[in-house]
Amino acid sequence: MSATDSSAQTQDIAKPKRKSFRMADETAADCLFERLRVHQQRAPDSTEVARAITARINSRLTSHDKHVRQTTLDKLWNKQSGAIQMLLSILENSRDTATTTYITAILREALCLKQGKGKKCSVPIEAPKKKETKKSGKENKAPVVKKANNLARQQCLQYFISITGPEAVIRTLITTHGKRDGNVGTELMMQDFVWILASLAPRDPKFAVKVRMLGCVRTMHLILKGHFTDNKLIFPLLVIMKQLAKNPVTTSILIRDGIISTYERVLVSLGFIPTARLRLCLDAIDYFSKNKVCCMQIVKTGLCSVLLRVFDRWDRYEGRMRLKICAHILQTLQHLCNIKAGRRALCTKKHVQTLHRFCSQCPDEPEFDGLLARVCSVITLCLKHQALPVPASSPATFNLNPILKGTNTSWPCHEDEEDAANSDSKTVNSDLDDDGPDDLEGIDEFPDIDFDEAEIKNESTEESTEKTLNAKSGDSLQSSLWINPNERDIEDLKKYFIYFKEFGSYNKQIRLVKSRSNSRGSILEDFLLSQAGGQKSVSSTLNLTLNAALVSSDSDNFMGSSQLPSYLQYHKVHESSSTTSCSSLKIHKDISKYSSYESVYCTISSRVRSVIPFVKVAYPDMMGGQGYNQPEPLNKMERSACRMKLLSCVDRAINPEAYMNETVFDLDTLNTTNVNNDAAAQKSFSAESLFLSNSDEQEITKVNSFSSRLSFESRFESGNLRKVIQVGPREYELILMPDVNSTKRHQWFYFEVRNMQQGRPYIFNIVNCEKSDSQFNFGMKPVMYSVKEAVNGRPGWVRAGSEICYYRNSYHYANQKNHNKCYLTVTFNIEFPHTNDVVYLAYHFPFTYSMMMTRIWQWSLQMPTGSYLRAEPLCYSLNNNEVPLLTVSAEDTPANPIVDREIVFLTARVHPGESNASWVMDGTLACLLGSSAAASALRHKYVFKIVPMLNVEGVINGCHRCGLTNEDLNRRWCKPSPVLHPSIYHTKGLIEYLVRVWKKPPLVYCDYHGHSRKKNVFFYGCAAAESWCSNDRMVPDEPVKYLMLPALMHRISPAFALGSCSFRVERERESTARVTVWRHLGVTRSYTMEASFCGFDRGPFKGFHLNTQHLQSVGCDFCEALNGLNDTATNVDIQLTKDLNGEIAVDSEPGSGSDSVLKTDSDEDFD
């Protein structure tokens, strides 16, 4: 027999021996755990037996034979064996130290990774990759077994947590630590306990709470103080302390117990070696420093200096560990800047030099950009606070006292808390149901209107009594605010019939309601009864009122002209004899139908009333304001340029005397010289006597004077620029105006620039932005309009700018509440296309109030045959500007009665800075009033009620978010005030009239908005299944109804992003238009349509900016989607809406702004 044959025979004999050995070992393990189970059942008090069994299990786990160890671990990890639960029970009940020691050793082997046992946990240095060679046999099996073991260990940890294992371990640890007998066995047991807890802590979300409830917080601190130099225990102790630092309550306990002094000693003992221990230590300090008391202790103990010494060695660290260590230190320093002592400690020459040295030596790599931004933020925060160089009070102030005089309405109310997710649902109660000219001093300007002061007071008294009774009722917050908020009386709602004159007189409308055999009516009655919540008195009042109305035979007898409030009398005076197209808007009075667009725009703009006097009309608005219809790619951020601008900002904060500081435009000074501040001048400026025009075309033909500085202007409609300071030869700092009667909300800008030279880059730094992030960091450019380009035949807004960046600067908020908060800067370079040009720059394509009124005037003269358009003032704004209401449909015919048509209600521009919403609305109106077959079909199918601009005052005065009352009007829909929020009050009244009197709620309600943090166009809707309220989720939902319109938009519009749509109903959005109309008025298809300010990150336009043509096309696509909407969904439609679940889960791609590195303070763009 050969040697080879002999070897093979030996292996064949060995295999069955090995197999039989393993079978015997598994049997022995089974017997051992069976003995443990029997012991638990029959003799749990037998200490000797428990000690013998646990000793045997522990010896198997520490055996040199891998198979023995693996077999035992498999038995422990198996839930069916119940071994872990039995060991836990013995641990809690046993008084024998040896048994407890064995059990802790067993649990450590089962729950903790083997490599962590006493080894130094340093960061492995990445070695160069060797060429991989294929391995066979045992070498290939090892990674697979290791992976399986790790997975089993993770599952065992979760099981251990579920059976209250952490509590048992913590209690035993407290007992063991209390002995302090110096025994080696006790010390070993303590080590095992700490390692077990370190494995459990990151996976148990309630770990800190459990430690606190069991009184073990200070015990853990004592263990850390006694073992911070112990290499075997320091790592698990730091893991545990990090988890305790995440909880604010345990953090407070530890801070009172002197944890910062302990961590200072730990940090010194660890040294500057970049290990996982150092990272854990710094991570915990970062969490602790969120507490201001902790920040004081960090300063007092000198830990601040130690942190900066560690940070100063950043260049000696490598890999991701360097980034993590530096990030934790910088976040701690940012927290220290929240207290005066912290800023004082950091603002020493040595510390500032350390931070500035990092700025100058920081590697030019993308991963260091975040660290550089943080260092610059720390430097600017710890320097002397620098306020904006403007007065605390804004020149844009509007005196509301004459309007509020004689009412119980209070102002100012609490400002909207945008920093708290815009969850403001506070409202201002009002007792005046009148929204005509609000101050009686203005009566002389309207001689054709009869004001009855006594009548106004009577209505005020009645409504005040009613509201007082409602306020005294014991309704809960939910029932009073969200279920039945400020429900108006039927007698009050009857006044809105005049806005529905296409349906006939009031009596005719009531007769049609009674005779209508539409199932929608009965469903609506059930809805209203359920909303009443069993309040029989309310429902009986509704029935009595309707019966009384039905008995009346003539609307004039039922509601005589003497009973009409002033704003309704005004409308009656201006009723037109035309039934197909008419405009009763006062601003259109005496305008010739043969006038050009430019002259009509100037005439209308001259009649607009503003807070700050206008001196001209803007050339782009006068010419139509369209964008240049060419694809414009998104901006690619130039990292090196942004770094330079960030460092320049820091250098300017450190050495302000090295820069120019010359004011070239100051609206405060200009306004002071032009407007007196006496009581008569407090009444807003009326430009009736001054005809505004534009002379830009003449200006560009003048000889260039080659001025050394640019000149600026913003005193035109929707303009916003407060001050300009020249800080360099071609660099300017720009400060924006806040909203009227406010000190904040800066985002929208629109201004004119002159005296430029061609081909030279000018730097514009807008230094008082407030949002923590912006699409300017993700590809968005501002828009520019050149008058010379327009004269040369290339008119239109274009995207412009390079080296665009958005970052935090050194200017601090003036108010005490946010004194430690800094503004942000958007900076961009502009190369003007011509010398001696007149150029306009804006945040987005402007769409002014006068543009809207001019467009309405145009449409009223160009109506297609058989169409119906009525333009009328819904109400007056607080500054006596008209809020227009448009009614669009087809003429009434016997074959297609107008009363049988569904109603679609559209609104836009509740936020004045969202000019893109007006461009979408412009596209919708242009489509509806077009001559195409699709437009005709829409008009024959629906009656459109449209309020194209809800916040006219905000738009006129260049505001970003609010109007004249410093309130977000889209947080006032629950309880709008007729005095302070007339447009919201009466728009809601129209919808409420349709629901409760006309008995036919709108088929669709859509509010058009703009979004500054996302790309594309998308919907927000309302789904009961996704509501914050449990009562909503209990009601059966019909997803097809509210998903159909987004599905149709997905098919039709290339700009629409289905994946960005959301149908959540959040508690803080209850007072928005979308949720109020859905919840309180029963409109299932209630939407907000959001259009990005930036561009697209998907679809055929991916990578390009939005322009005005895109926005108008979206409005037209929305009309086409409405044409395809019906209540009888086809199988294809149902399948499409089912597919939405997968689509909607996909949000915008990275870089869209929703997942920016910078965390947002709020999501105010949501509705």
Classify burial at 709, counting beta carbons within 10 Å of its beta carbon; exposed 0-12, middle 13-18, buried 19 or more. middle
Q: Which of 717, 953, 1090, 1164 does the annotation list as catalytic?
A: 1090
d(CA 952, CA 965): 13
For residue 467, give the 3-state DSSP assignment: helix
| Contact between 875 and 982 (Cβ < 8 Å) | yes
Closest CA to 165 of 44, 76, 277: 76
Phi/psi at 258 (nearest 5 deg)? 85, 35
Helix H or strand E segment including 1043: helix 1039-1052
User: b/e per residue, 433-464, with b = 16+ CB within 10 A?
Assistant: bbbbbbbeebeeebeeeebeeebbeebbeebb
- DSSP H helices, 231-318, are 234-245, 248-256, 259-270, 276-288, 292-301, 303-312
Cis amide prior to 1036 (ω within 30 degrees): no
Is 1090 an annotated catalytic residue? yes
* DSSP annotation string for 518-533: -HHHHHHHHHHHHHHT
For residue 768, give the 3-state DSSP assignment: strand
361 CB-near residues (< 8 Å, 6+ apart): 315
For residue 585, give the 3-state DSSP assignment: coil
For residue 642, give the 3-state DSSP assignment: helix
What's the gap between Cα 377 and its chain centre?
A: 23
Strand pairing category for 1004-1011 and 902-908: parallel
Phi/psi at 977 (nearest 5 deg)? -95, 130
d(CA 740, CA 393): 10
Torsion of CA 749, 755, 760, 766, to 10 degrees: -20
* DSSP annotation string for 415-439: PP-GGGTT-------------SSSS
d(CA 59, CA 36): 15
What are the tokens at 744? 């904040």
- How many CB atoms within 10 Å of residue 757? 17
Q: Which long-range contacts (CB under 8 A, 24 or more apart) does 302-305 make?
A: 302/264, 303/260, 303/263, 303/264, 303/267, 304/333, 304/336, 304/342, 304/345, 304/346, 305/351
Please, how many CA atoms are within 13 Å of residue 53, restricted to the half-sphere of its CB? 23
- Beta strands per DSSP E along 491-563: none
d(CA 877, CA 403): 11
| Contact between 929 and 921 (Cβ < 8 Å) | no
| Contact between 402 and 684 (Cβ < 8 Å) | no
- Eight-state DSSP code of residue 964: S
| Contact between 1000 and 518 (Cβ < 8 Å) | yes
Strand pairing category for 581-583 and 867-876: parallel
Phi/psi at 574 (nearest 5 deg)? -100, 20
d(CA 968, CA 959): 11
d(CA 731, CA 765): 8
Q: Which long-range contacts (CB under 8 A, 24 or more apart) does 681-685 make?
A: 682/399, 683/399, 683/402, 683/439, 683/441, 684/398, 684/609, 684/610, 684/611, 684/879, 684/880, 685/609, 685/610, 685/611, 685/612, 685/613, 685/614
| Contact between 471 and 602 (Cβ < 8 Å) | no
The residues carrying an active-site annotation are: 1090
